[in-house]
């Protein structure tokens, strides 16, 4: 996909309202001077530590260290890549985009895809309006209302109804200028035996399926009569819709998923809507029971924990075990909320007190390995030695994948006691399974299929906001650089003193070099493709406040970095066995410690 021109990025940045964008994720209060504060949307906190610089369109959290510009904020909260973030903001604030010259065939494909996307959005709007207003849809409205789903929730998800006539959508779309071939490509029209076309969805409740950017890419449709064949049908696989790559409700769940660091996976459309209605807005649907690698890739890009709340039937149990396979190799904790047999999430949460019971199941979700071992033990006939041995054969590979520790020890104890097998035998079988797993893992393919592809209009994984606690040295160097930005006249002399000895990473070294030449306006002129440097500069500018630069502050922080560099040199001298150099450096360290003490005293009295 061709890149946006720099002028387009500048126009989008100028037109976008930073406060409006951030306010969709957290409440902001004006702090003066174009600054706003609020609770950080990226980690739980009670005291506001999140700051927004509205004029510069930057943000920074003093609590968890995240920060960046408006594009970074949209990328992180909506799980988009940079081009998608630019395009989303351009659409939102009415900015015309231009792209660098691209291959005419690629441009044609992009325009054709845009046409199909527009067609799908129009279809979704039509179905939704018909559902809300038509007498024919009254039965559908009553059915969903009887399931406890509110009108507001249904409207929010765009639930609609496809009329029973054979060609209603087809005719309306043609009148709007769309061709029959486009409706067929989008999965909205089907070719009949006689060569004519008719609407694919008729007399069915429609659930628009959106991608991560909120664009309708397909529909799920529920029959209203038993004679209609399959209760649910989906859009046919096409260039827009790939069922294995989509999670129902992902466009509405991303922000909550990122904030709670958790996704709740359910099976059905109404399950997702009911959970969102109950406040569990991190819920998404897999539209069936087959969790795919592409879906896991989307989840692992946003959260570290996935809670499976699938039906307790055989298909649901199989899906849970499949989840362990497709999540292999990813840092993703898979847990299971033990649903009562015969009850789905939508049914549970509409009952009195049901939402609280479901939350309790989610909070108390057990590790997938524990769930799997439980299934194996429940299915073992302990009166049959052959069946007990079968149970151990099935349980050993599961336990072999659990890291050594209390959980593995407890599960091993359960297996030993339930199957009445000597603990030494159980241990040996687990060790054998672990060795076999290591031998079998080497040729195994990694689960690294990208969630989406930008060339196909989808959104590749975007890493979750960095919540890693910074070291004292990292905090010191960033605070020093922020103060240099806040007071450039004083800051220049300190920047010139910094070299690689003082700095903790290549990124900080690049940041210092950039600031040395751009201290008066550090956020301007950055390469839009260098997102790493853009994020760092944005965080520093967001933190820069002249009122927070007290007498001696920059000097004290510089001395702390000098001391850290000196400690590195002392350690290196010790490793080299150079006692003389080590003694000399230690004397210098004592002098630095005294200078730091005096600098701290000056700052306190200044």
Tell me: the pLDDT tens digits for 496-526?
Answer: 999 888 888 888 999 999 999 988 888 778 8
pLDDT of residue 467: 43
Residue 596 confidence (pLDDT) above 90? no
Give me the domains of the chain, ranges plus CATH numbers. Answer: 1-102 (3.90.580.10), 105-236 (3.90.980.10), 250-441 (3.40.1360.10), 470-606 (no CATH)
More confident residue, 471 or 359: 359
Q: Say yes or no to pLDDT of 75 above 60.
A: yes
pLDDT at 317: 64
Q: Could you report the per-residue pLDDT of 113-127, keeping only the tens digit for each?
A: 889 999 999 999 999
Measured distance CA(227)–CA(35) in Å, rounded: 61
pLDDT at 143 > cutoff 70: yes
d(CA 388, CA 427): 15
DSSP 19-44: HHHHHTTS-EEEEETTEEEE--TTS-
When the pLDDT of each residue in the chain is averaged and rounded to a whole number, the result is 83
CA-to-CA separations, 343 to 143, 340, 444, in angstroms, rounded: 18, 6, 37
Interval 427-447 mean pLDDT: 62
With bands split at pLDDT 50, 70 and 90, how would you rate the model's confidence at 103? low
Pairing assessment for the beta strands 305-308 and 333-336 based on DSSP bridges: parallel
Rounded to 5 degrees, φ, ψ at 212 are: -60, -20
Asked if residue 275 lies in contact with residue 349, where contact means CB atoms within 8 angstroms, the answer is: yes
CA-CA-CA-CA dihedral for 265, 270, 272, 276, to nearest 10 = -150
Q: What is the distance between the alpha carbons of residues 252 and 158, in angstroms, rounded to a whole number? A: 12
How many residues make up the chain in this entry? 606
Q: With CA atoms as reference, report the closest residue to 551 among 490, 477, 476, 479.
A: 490
What pLDDT is stored for residue 398 in this prediction? 85
Residues 330 and 447: beta-carbon distance below 8 Å: yes
pLDDT of residue 343: 87
For the ranges 160-169, 257-266, 280-289, the maximum mean pLDDT occurs at 160-169
Q: Cβ of 329: how many Cβ atoms within 10 Å?
A: 15
Name the range with the highest mean pLDDT among 69-73, 416-420, 550-554. Answer: 416-420
State the pTM of this model.
0.61
pLDDT at residue number 171:
96
Nearest to 396 by CA among 422, 423, 434: 434
Residue 98: pLDDT over 90? no
Ramachandran region of residue 138, left (φ > 0), alpha (ψ -120 to 50) or beta?
alpha
C-alpha 114/C-alpha 422 separation (Å) is 65
Across 22-47, average pLDDT = 84
Distances (CA, A) of 210 to 189, 217, 266: 19, 6, 16
pLDDT-wise least confident of 359-363, 383-387, 541-545: 541-545
Q: pLDDT tens across 536-547, in order? A: 888 788 777 666
Between CA 554 and CA 599 the distance in angstroms is 10
């Amino acid at each position: 996909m061709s890149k946006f021109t720099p002028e387009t990025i500048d126009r989008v940045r100028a037109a976008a309202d930073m406060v409006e964008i951030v306010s969709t994720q957290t409440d902001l209060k004006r702090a003066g001077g174009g600054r706003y504060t609020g609770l950080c949307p990226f980690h739980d906190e009670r005291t506001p530590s999140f700051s927004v610089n509205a004029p510069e369109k930057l943000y920074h959290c003093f609590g968890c260290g995240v920060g960046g510009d408006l594009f970074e904020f949209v990328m992180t909260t909506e799980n988009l890549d940079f081009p998608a973030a630019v395009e989303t903001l351009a659409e939102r604030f009415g900015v015309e985009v231009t792209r660098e010259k691209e291959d005419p065939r690629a441009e044609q494909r992009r325009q054709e895809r845009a046409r199909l996307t527009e067609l799908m959005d129009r279809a979704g709007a039509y179905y939704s309006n018909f559902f809300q207003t038509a007498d024919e849809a009254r039965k559908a409205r009553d059915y969903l209302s009887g399931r406890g789903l509110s009108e507001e929730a249904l409207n929010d998800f765009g639930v609609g109804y496809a009329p029973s006539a054979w060609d209603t959508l087809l005719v309306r779309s043609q009148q709007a200028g769309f061709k029959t071939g486009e409706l067929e490509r989008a999965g909205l029209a089907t070719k009949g035996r006689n060569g004519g076309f008719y609407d694919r969805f008729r007399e069915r409740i429609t659930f628009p399926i959106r991608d991560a950017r909120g664009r309708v890419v397909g529909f799920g449709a529920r029959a209203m009569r038993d004679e209609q064949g399959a209760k649910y049908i989906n859009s046919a696989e096409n260039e827009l819709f790939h069922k294995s790559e989509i999670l129902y409700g992902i466009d509405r769940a991303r922000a909550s998923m990122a904030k709670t660091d958790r996704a709740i996976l359910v099976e059905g459309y109404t399950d997702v809507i009911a959970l969102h209605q109950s406040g569990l807005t991190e819920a998404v649907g897999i539209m069936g029971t087959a969790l795919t690698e592409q879906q896991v890739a989307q989840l692992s890009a946003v959260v570290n924990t996935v809670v499976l709340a699938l039906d307790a039937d055989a298909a649901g149990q199989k899906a849970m075990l499949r989840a362990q396979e497709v999540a292999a190799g990813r840092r993703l904790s898979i847990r299971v909320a033990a649903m009562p047999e015969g009850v789905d999430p939508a049914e549970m949460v509409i009952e009195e007190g049901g939402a609280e019971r479901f939350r309790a199941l989610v909070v108390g979700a057990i590790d997938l390995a524990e769930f799997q071992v439980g299934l194996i033990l429940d299915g073992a006939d302990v009166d049959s030695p052959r069946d007990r041995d079968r149970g151990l054969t099935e349980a050993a590979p599961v336990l072999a994948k659990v890291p050594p520790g209390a959980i593995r020890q407890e599960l091993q104890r359960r297996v030993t006691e339930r199957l009445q097998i000597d603990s030494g035998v159980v241990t040996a079988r687990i060790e054998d399974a672990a060795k076999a797993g290591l031998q079998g893992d080497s040729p195994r393919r990694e689960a690294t299929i990208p969630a989406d592809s930008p060339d196909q209009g989808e959104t590749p994984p975007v890493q979750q906001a960095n919540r890693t606690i910074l070291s004292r040295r990292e905090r010191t160097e960033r605070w020093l650089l922020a103060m240099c930005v806040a007071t450039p006249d004083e800051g220049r002399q300190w920047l010139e003193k910094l070299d690689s000895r003082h700095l903790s990473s290549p990124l900080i070294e690049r940041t210092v070099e950039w600031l040395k030449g751009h201290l008066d306006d550090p956020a301007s002129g950055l390469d839009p493709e260098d997102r790493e440097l853009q994020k760092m500069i944005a965080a520093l500018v967001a933190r820069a406040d002249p009122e927070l630069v007290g007498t001696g502050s920059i000097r004290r922080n510089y001395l702390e970095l000098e001391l850290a560099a000196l400690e590195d040199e002392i350690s290196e001298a010790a490793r080299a066995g150079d006692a003389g150099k080590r003694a000399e450096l230690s004397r210098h360290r004592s002098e630095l410690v005294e200078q730091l003490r005096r600098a701290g005293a000056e700052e306190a009295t200044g």
